[in-house]
Structure 1
């Protein structure tokens, strides 16, 4: 008896050169992800996931989905929640609407802190959103945000990623051009350091000079650079990938010269990073991803050092191209050549320092 061929699968999404006309980026195919299942590498290593979301979109990602990922084999000790315009208030002063997200996430964190889900401390740090273009009034909103989660609120992110090409501008509501240099934005930004708050920077790599100028203007403010500084390898930046890499690499090195900056390593499974794994019939293995991502990850670690780099899942965004288990296996492969102290920093210690989490979360 001959083997029957596997049933035909529908074409993978995204066999196109742009994201126009494709389904929303924040969807995933669980059946496709299940085609690649790996054994967990180094399962006892403590991990603090430095960046994830919770949201209700076409594909929801709330506590059940998060918990399933956090308990899928790796030793996740804690996570940092990153704002994503979720659970905003619908009434009252619109300047305070984003506080609804912080209130909701603080409740999720309280459930994990109760021990109901074992020793995991999800959302131990919360990064919310406040519109810093409010200028000096932003201080009032920042104080109100901190009051909603006094033990967990660590800072804000205000999306700054802007590009002239609509193929690169993937945000549903792109920010205005030049946000990081806006006068009112900077007046609001000036209130972060005095309140002990950090700023997560979401940019595209051609905007690195704008972020450098902001960091130089506010050297006492901790700035965490998201997603390896927003490397864009699609649209116009795909025409000469060598030149794109050189410009990004030089920008990363310049960012590393600012001691108030940390680098977050992740987001590489997003379509904008220019890899085609998401379009294949089977999801990638961790060894394939490690080989493809190594030049970018090693560039960041060489520039910033492990003490200022941290791994992130960027889930559920990156779930469109890789499972949680395979993603952390990939990072473990990429970190294999580092010392134990450096691995501790990359997987947990740096996130604990940057977001002021309990240092024991990085321990054994």
Structure 2
């Protein structure tokens, strides 16, 4: 039986979700599937109807931010420009929401796209094309997740080691600031120094760390969450000293984190999830403050450990001691300001 919704009137901007059709891709992976692929199989087809079912399941989701995931790329475009198709597709979803047909709900009010920043100065026309594809385009994610153990990430990923420190990447990265674009950084816990170094090198560039820095509890890291916690916490506190960095509070229900370890769709209640995640969430909030932290669903990836209702209930349990102003920031205000969509918030007009 679904959990009762806690604090159902609290406005929420979900600042991190995907839309995709991964059915052909997943079919190509052999059995037994990596846990992450198992998680994707839960919602191998996740577009506006599925998103609307989740975001209207009881919590007061007033708007969302779309996060790039390699979906619906242009088949016939030059390689560098294929990602423009993703922004074009998502802009159509945003237009559906903006029509008012579904009430005041604003899905994909901001769109984070992808461009290959290792193109250096050659990335500029790609960024320009993404901006022309949608006025909602606001930033870039170029994921840098890598680990020496290939079993950690499984088949879909593996960015080059040290990507964020490479000269080619940074030559492209500097264009984000010139265009007023945000940057989402996704790395794994052992790579957090890469984000620290990048943020120090570009102190005026708004950066948000995805998924609490992705603590690891799988493959060669299995059973080591406790042992690695102090190192993770030190890195988070160092990042928080840099005023251009914010953090997304979520992603902990991913298979990589093993919180919960069992899946898919483990059915763990929100109270138990809140207990698992509390050391990570509270550390991030204490370090960054409510004005630089935002709860995220990371859906549908986090369905591995929680359905949408239960996920946000867990976040509400974790923030039960926060003030009304802090809750407004954590659940909507920080995301609205970071991604430039303050008009989505009730009472903003």
TM-score of the superposed pair, with normalisation by structure 1: 0.87
1:202 corresponds to 2:186: yes
2:312 corresponding residue in structure 1: 328
Deviation at 1:70? 1.0
Deviation at 1:319? 1.2
How many residue pairs match? The answer is 328
Do the aligned partners of 1:135 and 1:188 also contact (CA within 8 Å) in 2? yes
Do the aligned partners of 1:99 and 1:148 also contact (CA within 8 Å) in 2? yes
2:17 corresponding residue in structure 1: 52
1:181 corresponds to 2:165: yes
Instruction: Give 3-state SS (helix, strand or coil) of 1:191's partner.
Output: helix
1:55-108 deviations in whole A, cap 9, x for unaligned? 001320001100101110111000000000000001121110000000000010
1:86 corresponds to 2:71: yes
Instruction: Give 3-state SS (helix, strand or coil) of 1:190's partner.
Output: helix
Do the aligned partners of 2:210 and 2:248 also contact (CA within 8 Å) in 1? yes
CA 1:47/1:171 → structure 2, altered by over 3 Å: closer, same or farther? farther
C-alpha distance in 2 between matches for 1:216 and 1:191:
16
2:229 corresponding residue in structure 1: 245
C-alpha distance in 2 between matches for 1:130 and 1:71:
31
2:272 corresponding residue in structure 1: 288
Over the residues paired in the alignment, what is the CA RMSD in angstroms? 1.5
1:147 corresponds to 2:132: yes
Instruction: Give 3-state SS (helix, strand or coil) of 1:271's partner.
Output: coil
Instruction: Give 3-state SS (helix, strand or coil) of 1:278's partner.
Output: coil
Alignment of structure 1 residues 64-143 onto 2, 5 Å: 64-143=49-128
CA 1:131/1:282 → structure 2, altered by over 3 Å: closer, same or farther? closer
1:264-297 deviations in whole A, cap 9, x for unaligned? 0111111111223534896011111111111111
1:119-158 deviations in whole A, cap 9, x for unaligned? 11000010000000110011111011011112x1110001
Do the aligned partners of 2:270 and 2:314 also contact (CA within 8 Å) in 1? yes
2:35 corresponding residue in structure 1: none
Instruction: Give 3-state SS (helix, strand or coil) of 1:272's partner.
Output: coil
What stretches of structure 1 of length at least 5 have no aligned partner? 1-35
CA 1:134/1:303 → structure 2, altered by over 3 Å: closer, same or farther? same
Do the aligned partners of 2:265 and 2:306 also contact (CA within 8 Å) in 1? no
Deviation larger for 172-181 or 341-350? 172-181
Answer with 1 or 2: which has the greater Rg.
1
Deviation at 1:243? 2.4
2:251 corresponding residue in structure 1: 267
1:299 corresponding residue in structure 2: 283
1:235 corresponds to 2:219: yes
C-alpha distance in 2 between matches for 1:92 and 1:271:
33
1:288-336 deviations in whole A, cap 9, x for unaligned? 1111111111010000001100000000001122110111111111100
Deviation at 1:169? 2.3
2:27 corresponding residue in structure 1: none
What is the aligned counterpart of 1:258 among 232, 242, 266? 242
1:42 corresponding residue in structure 2: 7
Instruction: Give 3-state SS (helix, strand or coil) of 2:151's partner.
Output: coil
Question: Which is richer in helix?
Answer: 2
TM-score of the superposed pair, with normalisation by structure 2: 0.91
C-alpha distance in 2 between matches for 1:40 and 1:239:
32
Deviation at 1:171? 5.4
Query: Deviating runs (4+, > 4 A) in structure 1?
Result: none
Deviation at 1:234? 2.1
Instruction: Give 3-state SS (helix, strand or coil) of 1:328's partner.
Output: helix
